[in-house]
Amino acid sequence: MRKLAAAGLLLLAGCAAGPDYRRPALPVPADFRGTAAAAPAESFGDVAWRSVYAEPQLQALIAQALKGNLDLRAAVARVDQARAVLGETRLGLLPTLDARGTVGRSKSSVDAILPGAARIKNVEEVAVTASFELDLWGRLRRSNEAARATLLSTDYARRAVESALVASVASGYYTLVSLDAQLRITRRTLATREKFVELTRAQHERGYATGLDVATAEAQEAVARANVPDLERRIAQTEDLLCALVGDNPHPIERAERGEGMPELPPMPPPGLPSRLLERRPDVRSAEEGLHAANANIGVARAALFPSISLTGLMGSLSSPLGELFKSPTAEWSAAAGVVQPLLDPQRSLYQVELANARKREALSGYEKAVQGAFRDVADALVAYAKYGEFATEQSRQVEALRRAEGIALARYRVGYASYFDVINADRDLFSAELTLNQAHANGLLALVQLYQALGGGWD
């Protein structure tokens, strides 16, 4: 009989109220949209960010941002908070042990003491108290499970901040490089238009050009000249943005010296298998751990419906004269078991269970949304990278053709075989096409950054 009772207690101790967590079965596509059916398992998102962003200046900016960014520091602090909560929750599984000591001196009324007893007396007491809650229904274990899942969710959220920070710094850097190239294109075009104004004025003095031609040439020069301060403003503001990302005050940003071109785009990186995306994306992992915590909190709420059983014990010594405090006759001890079952407020606990279930449903919707958003991010980035590359290829052909057209128009104009407006139109079209080509290359680089982040890259 005793063995049966002991087995029953062990069985109860091994049970925990509420459902055990299982990852929801979500529909995962076999391949990302726009990829071949036999895509390799390795993913671009598994590559370290130092291998993706190879320029030393960009690497230095990212490393500085990972140390000094204020949003990332706040995320790290939230992880530390969750770790402290977990540590505190784990202590609930252990007995509590308290020690107390009391020294007192009192004087009693003559009407309140026995005849012959002293009115003034001293009392000294030393005691150790231990208490322990029997976790029969798993409330403490579910609380510990929820705290651990919350810690993991917070840590994955920190990694998501880290991934987004790396992407923001890379995007800002490539934007800055693109603006530098646009400024060089604008200044070269401005120098060309200044020379053309001088040529038009000379043609006007010889009677080969009209005042309208001169005014139009000056207007085109002013267009290019006005573009310079606007680009300088955008460059300075982008530098300020990068300074804020790395946790510094505004200052010029060092970057690689290059001409009017942009870094070459690599071939389409492998996206990997969609099923592995759920493990690589830190925001998806954070949402899943939040769901795990919500599931555990259902067990905490359900366990509150059952009585709580606590064991308490006391051992110490109580003595009037101090010298007798630790002698055997002054020793005292006690042991007790207590059961607490709410009787007048059970509906509150039922509402807590209902609240925990509703929060789990909310967390499940958030997890499903995070998964759907992850697949969409990858699909958008893949199509953006592919189409920006195709656009840049065709735009390069247009620029080459317009450069030839401008050279021919200017040569014919010098000898009087071409209209002034042929030169103006060719120059204007070339300037616009060169800026568009530069932006196309920049968009391709930004799409590469977006793809790397969408695949879960950017955190260690």
Give the pLDDT confidence of 371-383 residue by residue, as tens digits: 999 999 999 999 9
Give the pLDDT confidence of 166-189 residue by residue, as tens digits: 999 999 999 999 999 999 999 999
For residue 305 the two structure tokens come to: 């419906």
> So what's the pLDDT on residue 12?
46
What is the spatial distance between Cα 270 and Cα 382, in angstroms, rounded to a whole number? 10
Q: Within the chain, which residues score under 70 in pLDDT?
A: 1-15, 36-39, 105, 108-112, 116, 119, 122-125, 258-261, 315-333, 343-344, 460
> So what's the pLDDT on residue 11?
42
> What CATH architecture applies to the domain 26-93+139-230+258-307+351-454?
Up-down Bundle (1.20)
Contact in structure between 441 and 435 (CB atoms under 8 Å): no
> So what's the pLDDT on residue 133?
80
> So what's the pLDDT on residue 1?
37
Give the pLDDT confidence of 307-316 residue by residue, as tens digits: 878 878 776 5
> So what's the pLDDT on residue 74?
95
What is the spatial distance between Cα 39 and Cα 90, in angstroms, rounded to a whole number? 45
Contact in structure between 188 and 444 (CB atoms under 8 Å): no
> So what's the pLDDT on residue 359?
94
For residue 247 the two structure tokens come to: 């946790």
Contact in structure between 305 and 72 (CB atoms under 8 Å): no
pTM: 0.85
Closest Cα to residue 217, out of 413, 404, 59? Answer: 413
Q: CA 209: distance to chain centroid?
A: 62
Contact in structure between 284 and 278 (CB atoms under 8 Å): yes
Phi-psi region of 424 (alpha: psi -120 to 50; beta: other; left: phi over 0): alpha
Closest Cα to residue 101, out of 125, 77, 137? Answer: 125
Supply angle C-alpha 330, 335, 337, rounded to 5.
160
In the chain, where the domains are located: 26-93+139-230+258-307+351-454
> So what's the pLDDT on residue 13?
46
Closest Cα to residue 272, out of 54, 29, 51? Answer: 29
